[in-house]
Chain A
Amino acid sequence: MSSATIAPSARVPTVSGILGALLRADFTVQLRNGRALVLTLIVPLVLLYAQFAGKRAVQLGDPLFRVATAISFGIASIAILGYTATVARDREKGVFQRLRVTPAPTWTIMVSRLAVQLVSMLAMTVVVLLAAAVVEKVSLDPAGYVLTLLAVIFSSAVFLGVGQALVGLIKSTDTINAVGRLVYLPLFGLGLFAHSQIFGTTFETISRWSPAGAVSTLLGGAMRPAAWSAETWGALLASILYSLAFAGVGIRWFQWSTR
Chain B
Amino acid sequence: MSATGETPTHHPALQVEDLHVSYGSKRAVDGVSIQIHEGEIFGLLGPNGAGKTSTLSAIEGLLRPDSGSIRIGDLDTGANPSAAKARMGVQLQSTSFPNDLTIREIVRLYAGLYGVPLSRADIDDLLGEIHLEEEASKRFSQLSGGQQKRVSLLIATIHNPPLVLLDEPTSGLDPQARRQLWDRIERLRDTGRSILLTTHSMEEAQAVCQRVAIIDRGKLLTVDTPAGLIEKHKDDPRVRKVARGQVTLDDVFIGLTGSEIRD
Count of chain A residues with a beta carbon within 8 Å of a chain B beta carbon: 39
Interface secondary structure of A, over-half rule? loop
| Residue in A6, A8, A13, A28 whose beta carbon sits within 8 Å of that of B105 in the complex | A28
Complex Cα distance, B38 from A8, in Å, reads 12
A residues 91-107 near B (Cβ < 8 Å) are 93-95, 97-105
The contact string, 1 if C-beta is below 8 Å from chain A, for chain B 104-137, is 0100111111111010001000100100000000
Enumerate B133-165 residues with CB–CB distance to A below 8 Å.
Answer: 154, 157-162
Is B16 an interface residue, CB under 8 A from the partner? no
> A93 to chain B: which residues have CB within 8 Å?
96, 99
Q: Is A202 an interface residue (CB 8 A)?
A: no
Question: How many B residues face the partner with a CB closer than 8 A?
Answer: 47
Which listed residue (A9, A29, A94, A257) contacts B95, Cβ 8 A? A94
**Closest CB of chain B to A85's CB: distance in Å?**
13
CB pair B109–A24 under 8 Å, yes or no, is yes
Cβ-defined contact, B110 with A1, below 8 A: no
- Cβ of A21 under 8 Å from chain B: yes
Complex interface: chain B residues within 8 A of A54 (CB): none
CA A3 – CA B192 in complex, angstroms? 10
Residues on B with beta carbons closer than 8 Å to the beta carbon of A20: 112
> Which residues of B line the A interface, CB within 8 A?
60-62, 73, 75, 82-83, 85-88, 90, 92, 94-101, 105, 108-116, 118, 122, 126, 129, 154, 157-162, 187-188, 191-193
Q: Which 3 A-B pairs have CB atoms at the shortest separation, nearest pair first?
A: A21-B112, A13-B115, A93-B96
- List, sorted by A's number, 17 A–B pairs whose CB atoms are closer than 8 Å: A3-B129, A4-B160, A5-B160, A6-B192, A9-B75, A10-B114, A13-B114, A17-B112, A21-B113, A25-B109, A32-B100, A33-B100, A90-B98, A94-B96, A101-B62, A102-B113, A103-B86
